[in-house]
Structures are given as structure tokens and as C-alpha cells.
Amino acid sequence: MSDLDSPTDPHSFSRPDQCRLISLDLVWDIDFVKKVINGTAYIDLEKNSASITTAIFDINKLSIRRVFCKESGNNLEYEIGNPDETFGSKLEVKLPNGNKLKLTVGIEYETSPDSSALFWLSPLQTAGKQHPYLYSQCEPIHARSFVPCQDSPGVKFPYTAKVTVLKEFVVLMSALQQSSNVCRSNSSKMEFFFKQPVPIPSYLIAIVVGDLASRNIGPRSKVWSETEFLDKAAFEFSETEEMLKVAENLMGPYVWSQYDLVVLPPSFPYGGMENPCLTFVTPTLLAGDKSLANVIAHEISHSWTGNLVTNSTFEHFWLNEGHTTFVERKICAKLGCGEPLRNLLGMIGKKSWADYVNNPNTKPNFTRLVPELKGVSPDDSFSSVPYEKGYALLYYLEDLVGGPEVFEPFLKAYIEHFKYHSINSHQWKEFLLSYFTEKGKGSALRRVNWNDWFFETGMPAVPISYQSCLADACQQLSERWCSTGDSNFGQFSSSDLDQFSTPQTLEFLNQLMEQDPFSLTKIAHMESAYHLFSQGNSEILFRWLRLCLRAKWNKCIPHAVSFINKQGRLKFLLPIYELLYQWEDTRQLAIDNFQEHKEEMHNLAVTKISKMLKLT
């Protein structure tokens, strides 16, 4: 049996079934010069029997200085296992003798400058250009690289933190700030105190340190950013409270007290990250017209589906993301154009899902709703599948049992039943069947082929079709462009898109992506008609650049390079780099540009793009 053969999680060395982390207290000092965090983790443990003699934690490139029993102050023996490049090392601590089932272990340590959870930005990589910046990204298994823990989503715990940093910085965490004061022992530093009373998995521990300011955007929400982004961010996310209220109506009370957002620097690799009390968002959402606020609806939904009820391992990641996408689209529909909008968003999502499934480079295992991930980094399996296949399953089930008015009460019951816990797909299915059997709807679910949905590769055997009247105009405009030869372009003008909502424009471009590449003449006339290179909406620009690169239009090359250099969002970077690499004329440009800018990128982006460019 290898070190990673944990009975509870294929990605963890820890044994919470024997000795479990039940709460965490962090004391940290931020060192921007060395690019490390120095500190102590006080870990409250509970043994399942007095005979247990060791506690096992996950670490990755942590320098352990001392391990001790907090109660006695005595040092404890420990052993660090051989390091694995992906999963780090096992830290095995010998516990003091005695019959006590609960105790507190202290671990003094220092992070590595190469910590995969921490991203240190130079002043030049920030908007203000004056101060460095630090942010973390722990999901899925990177918390172990900045705190010793049982780094599994099946282990949830409350935490507190005291963070010391130079006075010019503001510290934020995925917790409620309790207070801040000048450090008594060093007046050039500040101390910030945080408390997260709701149990969370380790991947939701988060920190941001920078020259940050805030603005109230609701009775329980602030937006934080560098001052250069603050006005735009406050405008863009002004509907946050409305979304929170709709989410509460669907899933029950919001238990986290505060819902703040922080706009991170452009290198952040995701659209958003649902850290409790403090959602991280990319500046690519700042479109200027609130047209990408659906990402905020998604992150808000995670406050219930993912944060309150959590997948027990990342093989069941769809429980987080499928439910969250389902609720996100319900929020957007209730605040927008109803079911036609929800179905249009489903069509857009299905396109990205099908693209991934049909990509010859995609591993079939990763197209399963519940993939086999033993020995596989969950970073490698990240895709649209848990989002869109999970959404499709829930959409299908909703239709089977009688529609939204029948299915929506299940969401609230599901959250109430499993809140504060981590579950797997089997537990979810058993609760679903029990709930609807009690409601007299059990027979409607007998036709569901659960094995196909959970474990078969590719698209599901049951065809999922989202019908939306909002897509009709998109289809008509797409057909007009496809049926027009390299002439008669006078029929097209900017008014074609002026009448579209953002989701309609995205669907129009998606439909064009399903056709053969346009001629150079046609693609140039489309730009003349619609001026898409000047789009402030990153999702629209992303799709337009892909269309242009497929057509091998030289004029788009500087726009594509500028786009991938200005932001670090993985969903944008990977497809654009792939198209540049596939086009022989731009292959070397893609490699050279990556080599020049990789130091500005998140390490996850560097790893994935290196593989795609065949550099590793």
C-alpha cells in the first residue's frame, strides 16, 4: 500500500478516519522580501480511539522547524515522507502518550518561495505599480503548500488567524475580520485578526495581501481592489445583494454573514473562486456593462453548493460545480428573461462541454461525471464536464419530476440535510431518490441510467436539448453569414448585434464556430461591420479571436497576443495558445511569447501551457 492509499481520498496522505483535524489556528508573518510565510499552525485534533499514536498531515515544500504539544510545550517526534512532485509529502507526527482523545499540536514552519498555493507579484505586475501583492489559490490540493493540514475536501473545520505584515498593506482572508492594530513589538507592522466559524475544507483557506481599498456595494457586501479598479468594480457588481436574496429563496439562509468580493490582478487563472466571505474574481469580468455578472451568481451559489455542502473528494467535483451552475442559471433567469435565458445559457455551456469531449487530446476518463483520479492530479482533470454534464443531469431530473416548481424545493432540502458536511455521489443519489419517493415522484426516476450518467465517457446517452426562443435570432444571423459568398456584405451592420443581449452574441459566435472557417474576405467584413476587436466583454472577444485564428487572418495576430498577455484566465489562455500553436505561421510566436511572459503567469497556467506547447 502506497502512502497515498488513504481510504478516504486518493489525493491525500492523511488519515482523518483515525485522527481528525477539527479546528485550526494560524499565526503568520508575511515576508515579501523572501516571498515566504513564516508561522505556526495550531491544529486541534480528535482521535477515534485512545490507541491511535500518530497524526498524519499533508505538506508540500514546507520547511518544518518544530512540532510540539501545545498543552505541555514538549517537542514531538515527526517524520517527513519522500516528496512527490504533485502530492507533496506525508508529515507523520507521533502523539504524546495518554488516553485523551482531543489535543492540540503546534507546527512551526516556513513556506517555500515556490509554494504552489501562493502567487507573489512584483509592483510592476500590479495596477498601482507601487507595492508587491500576494494572493493564494488552494483549490484543489494546494493548501498543503502553505499550511500543514489534512488537505482533503472531506475534512472540514473552522479556523482563526493572526497575520502580521508591513503597515502599508491590507490583509484579507476567507474569514470575518475581527480587528487590526499596530504590532506592539514592531510599530512598522500591522496585525490582522480573522475568524471563520463555519467549518470549511482546506481548499477554501485563502489570503490576499496588497495595497487594497474597498467600497460598500450592499448591506453585507464590499468590493475590494486596487484603487485603479475600484470604480469599475463597484459598478460592475452592484447587483450582488439582489443575487444573494434570490439564492437564499432557492437554498435557505446565507450562513457566512459577509459576502465580499476582491478583484485580483490579471494573472488570476480563474473567473472566480468561491472563498467564503471573500470571493476572488478576475478583472476580465469588468466589462463596463454588468454583462458578465453571471460569474458572480455562480460564486454566490457556491456559498451553499460547494462551501456548505462539499464534494468529499475531487472525483465527485460535479456535486460542487454542477449544482452551482444549475443554481447560477436559475438566479440569472429569475433576475432576467426567465426560462428562455436559462436555456440559452445552457446552450452556450453545452457547446464548451461538447468541444472538450470531442477534442482528440481529451482523455476519455476526464469526460466522466465521476472520473477515476487515483494517482492523477485533479488539476489535470479540470474541465467544463463537472459544470455542464452536472448541470445537464440536474436539468434532466428536474424535467422528469415535473419541472422547476417540483424540483426547486429539493434544492433547499438537500442543503438543509447535508449542510456543514462533505458527501459523495452515492449519498446524493440516495437522498434524491428518498426525497422524491416521499413526494410520490419515485417512479419518474426509475428510467434514469445512473451508471451511464456517472461513469460512461463522452456525451450522455440521453440527448439533452435546451430550447430557447432567444436563440432563434442568433441562428438566423449565423445562417445569413454562412450563406453569403464573398460579396453582398452591405446587408450587415452594427445594428445586427445591438439588438442582442450578451448571451445571444455569445451564442451567435458559438454557432459560427461550428461551421467551416470563414474566408479572409468574410472575416474582415465581419470585423468592419461589428468592430469586435474593440469589445470590452472578454467572453465575446475570446470567441471572436478564435474565429479569426481559425480563418488564419494575419490582422488578428497582434490582438490575440495582446489578449493572452493582458490576463491569465485559463479558459482563455489555453484555446488561444493552442490555435496559435496549430497555425504553422504563428507556432514559434506562441512559444516565444510564452517564454517571455511565463514569469507573469500563475504556475498552473505555466504547467498546462508548457504541456500544450510540447515544452515539457
Catalytic residue among 92, 110, 236, 299: 299
92 has binding-site annotation? no
Strands of the 260-263 sheet, one edge to the other = 213-218, 221-225, 260-263, 278-281, 272-273
Strand, coil or helix: what is 45?
strand
Strand, coil or helix: what is 583?
coil
Decide: 10 and 86 in contact? Cβ < 8 Å: no
Decide: 117 and 143 in contact? Cβ < 8 Å: yes
Q: Helix count (H) and strand count (E) of the chain?
A: 18, 21
346 has binding-site annotation? no
Catalytic residue among 78, 159, 259, 387: 387
571 has binding-site annotation? yes
321 has binding-site annotation? yes
Instruction: Examine the residue annotation and report whether 259 is marked as an active-site residue of this protein.
Output: no
The CB density around residue 566, as the number of other CB atoms within 10 Å, is: 12
CA dihedral 568, 569, 572, 578 (to 10 degrees): 60
The span from the CA of 355 to the CA of 309, in Å, is 30
Decide: 513 and 351 in contact? Cβ < 8 Å: yes
570 has binding-site annotation? yes
Whole-Å CA distances, 569 to 30, 281, 539, 583? 26, 10, 11, 22
- Residue (of 296, 422, 424, 321) closest to 381 by Cα position: 321
274 has binding-site annotation? yes
Task: Write out the three cell numbers for 92.
Answer: 507523520
Burial class (CB within 10 angstroms; exposed 0-12, middle 13-18, buried 19+) of 603: middle
β-bridge partners, 31: 36
Decide: 244 and 404 in contact? Cβ < 8 Å: no
Decide: 529 and 493 in contact? Cβ < 8 Å: yes
Instruction: Examine the residue annotation and report whether 315 is marked as an active-site residue of this protein.
Output: no
270 has binding-site annotation? yes
The span from the CA of 305 to the CA of 98, in Å, is 40
The span from the CA of 347 to the CA of 199, in Å, is 36
332 has binding-site annotation? no
Decide: 48 and 40 in contact? Cβ < 8 Å: no
298 has binding-site annotation? yes
Task: Write out the three cell numbers for 423.
Answer: 458527501
Decide: 349 and 325 in contact? Cβ < 8 Å: yes
Task: Write out the three cell numbers for 67.
Answer: 512540532
The span from the CA of 241 to the CA of 247, in Å, is 10
**One-character DSSP codes across 168-193:** T-EEEESSEEEEEEE-TT-TTEEEEE
272 has binding-site annotation? yes
288 has binding-site annotation? no
CA dihedral 112, 114, 120, 122 (to 10 degrees): 110
Whole-Å CA distances, 83 to 41, 59, 193, 225, 375? 21, 9, 33, 37, 14
- Residue (of 176, 171, 282) closest to 236 by Cα position: 282
273 has binding-site annotation? yes
To 10 degrees, what angle do helices 339-358 and 385-401 make? Answer: 130
Whole-Å CA distances, 78 to 22, 107, 115? 20, 10, 22
User: Among all residues, which ones are annotated catalytic?
Assistant: 299, 387
Binding residues for a peptide are 137-139, 269-274, 569-571
Binding residues: 137-139, 269-274, 298, 302, 321, 569-571
Residues annotated as binding site for Zn(2+)? 298, 302, 321
